[in-house]
Amino acid sequence: PKLISFSSFLSFCCASASALQSLTDAMHIPHLYIQRNAEGSPRTACQLNPSPDGERYTLAARPPVRLSDVMLTLVGELHWQKFIIFYDSDYDIRGLQVFLDQTSRQGLDVSLQRVDRNISGVFSSLFTSMRTEELNHYRDTLRRAILLLSPRGAQVFIHQAVETNLASKDSHWVFVNEEISDTEIMELAHSSLGRMTVVRQIFPLWKDSSVSCMRNNHRISSLLCNPQEGYLHSLEVSNLYLYDSVLMLANAFYRKLEDRKWHSMASLNCIRKSTKPWNGGWSMLETIQKGHITGLTGIMDFMDNGSNSHVQFEILGTSFSETFGKDIKRLATWDSVHGLNGSLKESRIENGMQGITVKVVTLLEDPFVMVAENILGQPKRYKGFSIDVLDALAKILGFKYDIYQVADSKYGSQLPNGSWNGMIGELINKRADLAVSAITITPERENIVDFSKRYMDYSVGILHRKPEEKINIFSLFAPFDLAVWACIAAAIPVVGVLIFLLTRMQMLRSQNPPGAHHNSSMSNSLHSAIWIVYGAFVQQGGDSVVGSVALRIVMGSWWLFTLIVCSSYTANLAAFLTVSRMDNTIRTFQDLARQMDYAYGTVRDSAVYDYFRAKGTNPLEQDSTYTELWRTISKNNGQDYSVSSPSEGIRKAKKGPYAFLWDMAVVEYAALTDDDCTITVAGNSMSSKGYGIAMQHGSPYRDLISQKILELQEKGDLDVLKQKWWPRTGRCDLNSHSNAQPDGRSLKLHSFAGVFCILAAGLLLACLVAALEMWWNSNRCRQEQPKEDKEVNLEQVHRRLNSLMDEDMAHKQIPAPSIEISALDISSMPLSQQREAVRDYPGTGLSVSTFLPEQAHGVGRTLAQGPGSTLPLPHSSSTMPSIHCKHRAPNGGLFRQSPAKTPMPMSYQSVPGGPIPEAIEHSTSI
């Protein structure tokens, strides 16, 4: 086939341009390439193959695609870290390769999603293929989106996103397309929700009124050169470049003909090998490149690589709050030489919130929101901490508000069908602009609504009735278990019996030789041995025991045992009294889960309820406390122990053994203002959360309110409001246990009541035993007294005493000092007891003198020790036990004691060695 003889070729698509490039390069024919968008979609770069001989005859009339450079600048100015790109099915995704490489190096999170022609089917498939959590995540992703779609496709896409509630007021849509008209931009702005930014190519000369319709030596129609006509805006950009390309070729032909340097072109045949290239092709190409014409698109200037370098983009946008994107204005421009010229920062509400009336939904919660005045026929007036914060913000920002209570009296939680109830549901359904109460900021709520900065920290408190103090007068026995006390009580007689047996065995095994000094305090009776053991146990000491090694080992072991027992008792008693002084036995969630006295619960469908459900059902949670708490709270779907409102939980905690888990601020206020001060609060810190003002997703008021809350915190106004509703010293003092005075830590009387009871019981027992002893001794004296009233012959008593002495030992004298004893009727003793009485004074000679009133008879005889007789002294070292009986007077009658005189004792005096002294007057010596 033959080619028609043209000086140049025009092509409009990348495929045809690549095919023509090889032909024009071979035949040296200038080739003008004008890329056209596919059905209005953004164009992608068309990569042309380089010429084999290095000479390119192809010129790109339309500048190369610079959309990736513009998007990189825009993302950097907006400080986006995460966004999604929606691209048309006709768009070549290879055009984003450079952009994705740049964002990857910057660490940005970029998602890609292709949009088919059936856009409505895209959103309907989302609701059938995604769960609620995934939809919430997808909704959050749509807050920052770049649309590489056709104008019509972008309009349908945004409309579907708004209708399906996937778009929000804080969504930011960036539409990037070189070809979009003003009418299409306004349609996008009206259909969108949130902020809209449009990037399109502009030609500054259009709106320059100083430029006439003359282009060099050509005159352009007024419909094209006058921007007021509006016809130019309806033309495609590719048609504008086509117009300028034809104008540029006409100018080149004119110059060639004017210079008379035209080289005629012979017909070219692609089949013949002998066909030669056009000799005037390169000259014609240079003439076109050096034309520098100014057309509808501006100056047509080509670089060495054959591309048009002059390109400029316009960035249009809506303010964040300007009737939600209905007003469009230019924000900045971008060109390949200077880059960005302008600012892309979000435009705030120009006059703040001055004069705006917002709708506020609330919920009664002391002391955050309470009814201050309720007059029939007039709106309710509210008071409380949250209301004070709202009033302070309204005063600063200049807005007004209408407030109403939520119908279901719930803060808001997600229902099984995916919807929300309570105040959160009011915001989602756009029936309210703000939600003000004791509403906490949670991740689940932040996915669907916006929150201001926290104005108060949040923690969970445990409200319960103060435990009644139990008085146990025998609490001093509590440090040891009953089995320990039983073992100690059994150990005392066991050790006492062992000591008694060891002492008896020692006495039987070795009789003391004559002259040996035996300890007079050695116990040879069972009760004495037990007494020694008891004295050592109470650390009061006892009679010293000097015996065998075995006896000493027993006593040493017992003393060590008593030391350990007493020390352990002292330590445990101190710990027991310390623990018993604690005002509150429930201080943490762990204490609440371990105890069995209190039932506990919270408000159903609340943030606290959801918190324990998330912690209790989390398989990765290592603390089993939350599992136990959730098992009790959710019993019978929360109907058994959980309540429907905070006020019900507070009333339930005041009545009986019930612990109410709720916001610390609420329960602390309830405890401070309690009439009887019978409830107290224990807390568990969760300060990572806080109370905030909730608003619609993408609300224009979020940043303004958050900024003013921070200012109130810095100035200390919020602290003043907190002190107003949570005073440090209210009707009830919640910190009494933490800052108690030293007197409050002293032991009370009931702590030692058991000791005084034991002492009183011992004193009563002693008095009873003393009375029994007196009665017993009195009866014994009556039984032993002779029935016949006759005179006691003292000489007979003396003779009987002397007969008991050993005649061989009579010469031994008693070296001991004089011992004075009470008068004793020795004659009335049995024979064995008389021998024991003599053995009480081993190795001594006694001179016994009897003193009777007004008369004395001396019959002296020295008392000698019987051989081998030993007997320890009684426990008292100074006096002997005596039985007071009446004695006969010498006249045969009974000696009667005068009331003014005491009976004279019988004196047994030791007599020194040598001759027996003369009888002492008024005495009888033996």
Q: For residue 338, give the DSSP letter.
A: T
Please answer whether residues 741 and 684 qualify as being in contact, where contact means their C-beta atoms are separated by less than 8 angstroms: no
Amino acid at 532: I
Mark residue 33 as left, alpha or beta (left: phi above 0; alpha: psi -120 to 50; beta: remaining): beta
Across the range 916-925, mean pLDDT stands at 41
Six token digits for residue 51:
């010429």
Per-residue pLDDT band at 1 (split at 50, 70, 90): very low
Q: Which H or E run contains 434?
A: strand 434-436
Place of tokens 């320990």: 484
C-alpha 663/C-alpha 626 separation (Å) is: 17
Q: What is the mean pLDDT of the chain?
A: 71
Of 508, 503, 537, 531, the closest CA to residue 519 belongs to: 503
Please answer whether residues 603 and 409 qualify as being in contact, where contact means their C-beta atoms are separated by less than 8 angstroms: no
Per-residue pLDDT band at 542 (split at 50, 70, 90): low
What integer pLDDT is reported at residue 51 of this predicted model? 64
Crossing angle of helices 831-839 and 794-803, in 10° steps, is: 70
Across the range 169-179, mean pLDDT stands at 83
Q: What DSSP line would sit under 497-517, residue for residue?
A: HHHHHHHHHHHHH-PPPTT--
In this predicted model, what pLDDT tens digit does every residue of 854-912 receive, in sequence order? 444 444 333 334 443 333 444 433 444 444 444 444 444 444 444 444 444 444 444 44
What percent of the chain has a predicted confidence (pLDDT) above 70? Answer: 63
Q: Which H or E run contains 382?
A: strand 381-383
Q: Which H or E run contains 340?
A: strand 339-342
pLDDT for residue 663 is more than 70:
yes
Pinpoint the alpha helices (H) of 260-314.
Answer: 281-289
Could you give the 3-state DSSP secondary structure of residue 422?
helix
Residue 182 annotated as lining a ligand binding site: no
Across the range 543-559, mean pLDDT stands at 66
Tell me how crowded residue 447 is: count the other CB atoms within 10 A of its CB: 16
Six token digits for residue 515:
């002259």
Across the range 832-861, mean pLDDT stands at 45
C-alpha 394/C-alpha 54 separation (Å) is: 72
What percent of the chain has a predicted confidence (pLDDT) above 90? Answer: 3
313 vs 299, more confident: 313
CATH number of 68-201+313-342: 3.40.50.2300
699 vs 52, more confident: 699
Domain 357-458+688-715, architecture per CATH? 3-Layer(aba) Sandwich (3.40)
Geometric angle at alpha carbon 363, from 361 and 366, rounded to 5°: 140
Q: Where are the beta strands (DSSP E) in 272-397?
A: 294-295, 298-299, 312-317, 329-335, 339-342, 357-362, 370-373, 381-383
Across the range 589-599, mean pLDDT stands at 82
What integer pLDDT is reported at residue 227 of this predicted model? 56
C-alpha 194/C-alpha 169 separation (Å) is: 4
C-alpha 451/C-alpha 692 separation (Å) is: 6
What integer pLDDT is reported at residue 734 of this predicted model? 67
> Sign of the CA dihedral 351, 357, 362, 367?
positive
Across the range 681-694, mean pLDDT stands at 74
What integer pLDDT is reported at residue 391 of this predicted model? 92
Q: Where are the beta strands (DSSP E) in 831-926?
A: 846-850, 862-863, 906-910, 924-925
pLDDT for residue 563 is more than 50:
yes
Please answer whether residues 194 and 168 qualify as being in contact, where contact means their C-beta atoms are separated by less than 8 angstroms: yes
Residue 663 annotated as lining a ligand binding site: yes
In this predicted model, what pLDDT tens digit does every residue of 783-831 receive, in sequence order? 665 554 445 555 665 666 666 554 444 444 444 444 444 444 444 455 5
pLDDT for residue 361 is more than 90:
yes
Place of tokens 């092509």: 11
Of 726, 721, 616, 597, the closest CA to residue 663 belongs to: 726
Domain 589-686, architecture per CATH? 3-Layer(aba) Sandwich (3.40)
675: number of CA atoms within 13 Å, CB side? 3
Tell me how crowded residue 596 is: count the other CB atoms within 10 A of its CB: 6
Six token digits for residue 29:
């024919």
Please answer whether residues 751 and 473 qualify as being in contact, where contact means their C-beta atoms are separated by less than 8 angstroms: no
512 vs 760, more confident: 760
C-alpha 697/C-alpha 428 separation (Å) is: 8
Residue 402 annotated as lining a ligand binding site: no
End-to-end CA distance of the chain: 179
pTM (2 decimals)? 0.43
Q: For residue 895, give the DSSP letter.
A: P
**Domain residue ranges of the chain, discontinuous segments joined by +:** 2-63+208-310, 68-201+313-342, 357-458+688-715, 475-580, 589-686, 790-926
Across the range 692-703, mean pLDDT stands at 83
pLDDT for residue 520 is more than 50:
no
Q: Where are the beta strands (DSSP E) in 576-732?
A: 599-601, 658-663, 679-684, 690-691, 694-696
pLDDT for residue 99 is more than 80:
yes
Across the range 695-711, mean pLDDT stands at 84
In this predicted model, what pLDDT tens digit does every residue of 315-355 receive, in sequence order? 888 754 444 445 677 888 888 777 887 767 554 444 567 77
Across the range 489-511, mean pLDDT stands at 78
Of 411, 429, 410, the closest CA to residue 419 belongs to: 429
What integer pLDDT is reported at residue 901 of this predicted model? 43
Tell me how crowded residue 925 is: count the other CB atoms within 10 A of its CB: 22
C-alpha 187/C-alpha 167 separation (Å) is: 17
Q: For residues 902, 906, 912 and 917, what is the CA-based torsion angle, rounded to 10 degrees?
A: 90
Please state, in angstroms and as integers, the Cα–Cα distance from residue 824 to each residue in 558, 788, 798, 882, 886, following that order. 41, 19, 12, 7, 10
CATH number of 2-63+208-310: 3.40.50.2300
C-alpha 243/C-alpha 842 separation (Å) is: 154
Per-residue pLDDT band at 392 (split at 50, 70, 90): very high
22 vs 229, more confident: 22
Please state, in angstroms and as integers, the Cα–Cα distance from residue 276 to each residue in 5, 27, 139, following that order. 13, 7, 64
Could you give the 3-state DSSP secondary structure of residue 30?
coil
Six token digits for residue 811:
């010469």
What integer pLDDT is reported at residue 146 of this predicted model? 92
> Sign of the CA dihedral 885, 888, 894, 895?
negative
In this predicted model, what pLDDT tens digit does every residue of 413-432 receive, in sequence order? 888 887 888 899 888 888 88
Tell me how crowded residue 82 is: count the other CB atoms within 10 A of its CB: 12
C-alpha 214/C-alpha 87 separation (Å) is: 40
Least-confidence region, from 362-366, 373-377, 619-623: 373-377
Please answer whether residues 287 and 255 qualify as being in contact, where contact means their C-beta atoms are separated by less than 8 angstroms: yes
C-alpha 192/C-alpha 656 separation (Å) is: 57
Of 490, 192, 464, 501, the closest CA to residue 325 belongs to: 192
Could you give the 3-state DSSP secondary structure of residue 6?
coil
What integer pLDDT is reported at residue 435 of this predicted model? 93
What lies within 8 Å, CB to CB, of 611 at 6+ separation is 442, 460, 686
pLDDT for residue 226 is more than 80:
no
Of 610, 164, 216, the closest CA to residue 415 belongs to: 610
Please answer whether residues 360 and 384 qualify as being in contact, where contact means their C-beta atoms are separated by less than 8 angstroms: no
Please state, in angstroms and as integers, the Cα–Cα distance from residue 37 to each residue in 80, 236, 304, 843, following that order. 28, 9, 25, 143
Across the range 441-452, mean pLDDT stands at 84
What integer pLDDT is reported at residue 88 of this predicted model? 85
Six token digits for residue 10:
């025009």
Pinpoint the alpha helices (H) of 449-525.
Answer: 482-509
587: number of CA atoms within 13 Å, CB side? 6
C-alpha 463/C-alpha 460 separation (Å) is: 10
Across the range 68-75, mean pLDDT stands at 88
Q: Where are the beta strands (DSSP E) in 607-678?
A: 658-663
C-alpha 445/C-alpha 449 separation (Å) is: 6
> With helix as H, strand as E and coil as C, how does 717-756 read?
HHHHHHHHHCCCCCCCCCCCCCCCCHHHHCCCHHHCHHHH
Is 589-686 in the same CATH topology as 357-458+688-715?
yes
What integer pLDDT is reported at residue 381 of this predicted model? 84
Please answer whether residues 232 and 295 qualify as being in contact, where contact means their C-beta atoms are separated by less than 8 angstroms: no
C-alpha 535/C-alpha 268 separation (Å) is: 138
227: number of CA atoms within 13 Å, CB side? 13
pLDDT for residue 549 is more than 90:
no
Please answer whether residues 828 and 785 qualify as being in contact, where contact means their C-beta atoms are separated by less than 8 angstroms: no
Please answer whether residues 151 and 126 qualify as being in contact, where contact means their C-beta atoms are separated by less than 8 angstroms: no
Least-confidence region, from 161-165, 211-215, 438-442, 756-760: 211-215
In this predicted model, what pLDDT tens digit does every residue of 274-295 receive, in sequence order? 667 777 777 787 777 777 777 7
Per-residue pLDDT band at 136 (split at 50, 70, 90): confident
In this predicted model, what pLDDT tens digit does every residue of 161-170 receive, in sequence order? 888 878 777 7
